[in-house]
Amino acid sequence: MISVITAIYNQLAVNKIFYDFLKRYTGHPFELIIIDNGSQDGSAEFFESVGATVIRNDGNYAYAFCQNQGIRVARYDTFAFLNNDIIVSPDWDKRLLAAMDINGLEVATCCGVERLETGAQTRRIRKKWSLIKNVVGLLGHSETTLRWMHKLMYGNWENFAQKRFERFQSAVMEGFVGNTVIIKKSALEKIGPWDERIYAADFDLYFRSKKRNVEVGDIKPVHVALGVFNHHFIKLTLKSPRPAFKDQARLISLEEKWGEPTAQAYKRHLELEFKQT
């Protein structure tokens, strides 16, 4: 059983695609918790109509605040924090959790357009996605167009995902891709919930897991499961800027929290791990 927690603000077309693939390809029984940040296009109502738990906020809140809202109402001990603008692959959850168990991980992410096994592979797939979204995107961002973009990108999605899984199985590398993050309750007991002061919450999560690993040694840093690939539209569908965060006044940068030398050292370590893989 897993608790899927997702924050949204409008984007009804992409929300429908997200739910379609989530329902179709999630292997474990799951509950879906939606944090709605003031949608006005029927997105909250859509998720309510399919049985999701919808928490309605009075405005747009930063990522970490929303994820902690989801944790507080979640019924299960495995939390999957998913962006709404993603398309999950078949058995994404079973494969990711299996990789975590095999590698002794309590926090892990999938791979995706943002990061593959090498810098060269990442640049190649980013270039392809950039071309597709810039050309096809001229036709708009309807549900039909978004599905077409995805089809052009991968061809047969199931075959693409299966080939990656067959190649990499449960292999992992240190780092993260922020659109899909699985955290076990045991990890939260060690490193705490999301820090609601931080806008770059995925970097901060990695930093905290790395710090705990070095200083205490009872948890491994966040790793990327190379055999699990979820597609991320990467803000493609945002037609207009989001409203300012309601909690903007308390948000701080990574450097403000960790100090410039520490933050840069962790970022360099991420790059080194990436280049060595």
Please give the pLDDT value at position 136: 80
Give the 3-state secondary structure of residue 256: helix
- Looking at 3.20.20.70, 1.10.3720.10, 3.90.550.10, 3.40.250.10, the CATH number of the domain 2-276 comes to 3.90.550.10
Helix 143-154 to helix 119-136 angle (10° resolution) is: 140
For residues 100 and 106, what is the distance between their CA atoms, to the nearest angstrom?
Answer: 7
Averaged pLDDT, 110-114: 96
Domain parsing of the chain, residue ranges: 2-276
Residue pLDDT, tens place only, 93-103: 999 999 999 99
For residues 79 and 109, what is the distance between their CA atoms, to the nearest angstrom?
Answer: 12
Angle formed at CA 220 by CA 195 and CA 99, multiple of 5 degrees: 105
Percentage of the chain modeled with pLDDT above 70: 96
Residue pLDDT, tens place only, 204-260: 999 999 999 999 999 999 999 999 999 999 876 455 567 889 889 999 999 999 999
Grade residue 272 by pLDDT with cuts at 50, 70 and 90. Answer: low
Predicted confidence (pLDDT) at residue 167 exceeds the cutoff of 80 = yes
Please give the pLDDT value at position 139: 74
264 Rama sector, left if φ>0, alpha if ψ -120 to 50, beta otherwise: alpha
- Measured between its terminal Cα atoms, the distance across the chain in Å is 32
Predicted confidence (pLDDT) at residue 39 exceeds the cutoff of 60 = yes
Residue pLDDT, tens place only, 129-154: 999 998 887 777 899 999 999 999 99
